Amino acid sequence: MKKKLLSVLLAGAMVFSLTACGDGDSQSSSDSASSDKQTDTTESSSGDASGDTASSDTASGDTASDPTNGELVDGKFTETRKITVEVYNRENDGGSDPTNNKYTQYIKDKMMELHNVEVEFVSVPRWTEVEQINNLLAAGDAPDICLTYDFATIQTYANMGGVLNLSSYVDDYKDLLPNMWEWLGETNIYCDKDPENGNLWAIEGKLAVTNRINTFVRKDWLDTLGLSEPTTRQEFEDMLIAFRDNADKLLGADADKLIPFSVSYDVGWRAALLIESFIDPDISDYEFYVNGFDDRKLTQNGTKEAVRLLNKWYNDGLMWDDFALYGSGDTTEDDMMKAGYVGAFMHNWDYPYRNGEDSIQSNLERLVGPDAAYVAVDCFEDSKGTHNKFVNGTTGDRKIFFPSTNDEPLACMLYLDFISTPETIEYLQIGDEGITHNKLEDGAIEIVAATGDDIQNSGFNIDYTITCNGLKLVDPEVTAKSTAHSYSGIDTALIEKANTIANTDARPSKPVNVGEITSAEGQGEALAKKRDVLLDTAVSAPVADFDSVWDSAMADYMSSGGQAIADERAEKWKATFGDATMLP
């Protein structure tokens, strides 16, 4: 009996799956012509829908010159509206609930008071944000205000009809959004506007600080060995060799744990300054753009030679052997820095000083001694002897988009306006006086490490100030004075030095907008993973095999989509700018 039942079930499953396939065949072959029509109708109907809203807006605008149709009285909705906002969850030790704490309460209260809008936060894990948003969008549960760092991802959602077109909202409601327009300006608001059809799928948050990456070395080790800070690539290499050869002197019993230069699996980011120093400083905007799909500059001319040098260092025992074995978000490498085993590394311009008590620098002082310090150095010269650092302009940070399930676009635009207000940004960044900051005599703000409900889960609460990344106080003079004081427990001289070096020869990239690059759709993650694999295997290959490993992996990268994207970028550039090789 059991056997029979099982066989019936299995047979049923087979038949079911076969018919499913069969249906697919027959219908698609007979309907292949009409399927096109079907898409047409769905597209046009959605087009109509958006046209309707637009026309109703303009109509009401004509009659009462009020784009909101009388929904707002004194900036407040007559009936309470409800919106949901994405916030990253970083799961810090001792952190607070990112959806419910002192700062979210501040935002909620203010939004209710100013606009009669109820705000609810939806937390998304920081390190798997893209996957989480995919799932939420597919389930129709995405927050009304979403953000991500990758515009290609948003474009993919938009092509599926999953994203609201913001172009009419930013323009029609312009008078209602003075703070947003004031802070972001046309540069950031129109940054991703499609030049052909005017679609605007996302608004770019603004970088208040454009500093990007610095190189850090152990100052106390240099002193112990009687070395001065490296100023050239060669001196940097000599320093690494000195660290390696004097491991006994520097770490004693732990000598075998010493790592002269540390990178993570993300070599392109963690050796960025070295890689960029191999790029021709006179590179044209055209070449930089066409080869610039990969944000780690994998396909720029020069990167291969930079990685060849890393490969040499790796094989000379100057780098961390296990760098490729630990994934994103793993703290092993940070822990080694904190424990004092790492001689040099590259990272965000203020990386060792972030996170107050738990910063790398504070841990180092506790575990190794008060003299131990990571200090920023500027030692990767390019072919002209300058220290070119390719930094983003004010764009290139988080992109904010509204999924098509958002039925409160106006309330959400008002939220963006509120979150861009100078006073809001200042409060979220520095909190209350005496608790999270002190005023110094010269008027500068000094950040104090907080605990409990006052704790900021992200530096300057960047996760809440979604339109602003980097310290930005109401008074720009105070901001300038405060930067060095905004890292609690860290010697201000270290910050000032890091800040100066990060700004030396900084080269802001100019945003290029030539319309959608269709061949890039759905390729971002797959190619980024390929890039990491390529860089990791190339760095750790035997020196003699470097060329063959690099060339074959690069050929694979290009044929898996890299070449198609470069070609389309070249083509679209020509269509937009003609033969010009520099941006206007």
Residue ranges in contact with another protein by CB under 8 A:
3-4, 6-8, 10-11, 14-17, 20-21, 23-25, 27-29, 31-32, 35-36, 38-39, 42, 130-131, 134-135, 137-138, 140, 153, 156-157, 160-162, 257, 265, 320-322, 324-327, 404-405, 522-526, 529, 532-533, 536-537, 540, 556, 559-560
Lookup: tokens for 408? 């409160």
- State how far the Cα of 79 lies from the Cα of 584, in Å rounded to an integer: 48
Tokens of residue 48, six digits? 């109509």
Name which of 35 and 386 has its Cβ closer to another protein. Answer: 35
Indicate the length of the chain as a whole number.
584
Q: CB-wise, 6 or 580, nearer to another protein? A: 6
Cβ at position 158, least distance to another protein in Å: 10
Closer CB to another protein, 10 or 582, in the complex: 10
d(CA 419, CA 432): 17
Alpha carbon distance 120, 81 (integer Å): 11
Three-state helix/strand/coil letters over 16-81: HHHHHHHHHHHHHHHHHHHHHHHHHHHHHHHHHHHHHHHHHHHHHHHHHCCCCCCCEECCEECCCE
**506-508 and 389-391 beta bridge pairing:** parallel
CA 269 to mean position of chain CA atoms: 12
d(CA 241, CA 353): 26
Are residues 123 and 457 in contact, defined by beta-carbon separation less than 8 angstroms?
no
Tell me the torsion sign for CA atoms 195, 201, 207, 210. negative
Residue 40 structure tokens: 């047409």
Of residues 131 and 196, the one with the C-beta less far from another protein: 131
Shortest reach from residue 139's CB to another protein, in Å: 10
Shortest Å, Cβ 364 to another protein: 20
Closest CB to another protein among 286 and 546?
546
Q: Which is nearer to another protein, 1 or 442 (CB)?
A: 1
Residue (39 or 228) nearer to another protein, CB: 39
Token pair 């219908």 in the structure block, residue:
27
- Determine whether 372 is exposed, middle or buried from the number of CB atoms within 10 Å of its CB (0-12, 13-18, 19+): middle
Between 318 and 495, whose beta carbon lies closer to another protein?
Answer: 318
Q: How far is the CB of 537 from another protein (least distance, A)?
A: 6
User: In this structure, are residues 326 and 333 in contact, taking their beta carbons and an 8 Å threshold?
Assistant: yes
Cβ-based nearer residue to another protein, 153 or 457: 153
Closest separation in Å from C-beta 331 to another protein: 13
Q: Which residue number, 15 or 580, has a Cβ lying nearer to another protein? A: 15
For the bound state, the minimum distance from the C-beta of residue 337 to another protein, rounded and expressed in Å, comes to 15
CB of 517 to another protein, least distance (A): 15
| Least distance between another protein and beta carbon 67 (Å) | 26
Residue 396, helix vs strand vs coil: coil
Torsions phi, psi of 445, nearest 5?
A: -95, 130
Residue (of 397, 484, 469, 393) closest to 428 by Cα position: 469
To another protein, the closest distance from the beta carbon of 237 in angstroms equals 21
Chain position carrying tokens 């002897």:
385
Least Å distance between CB 522 and another protein? 5
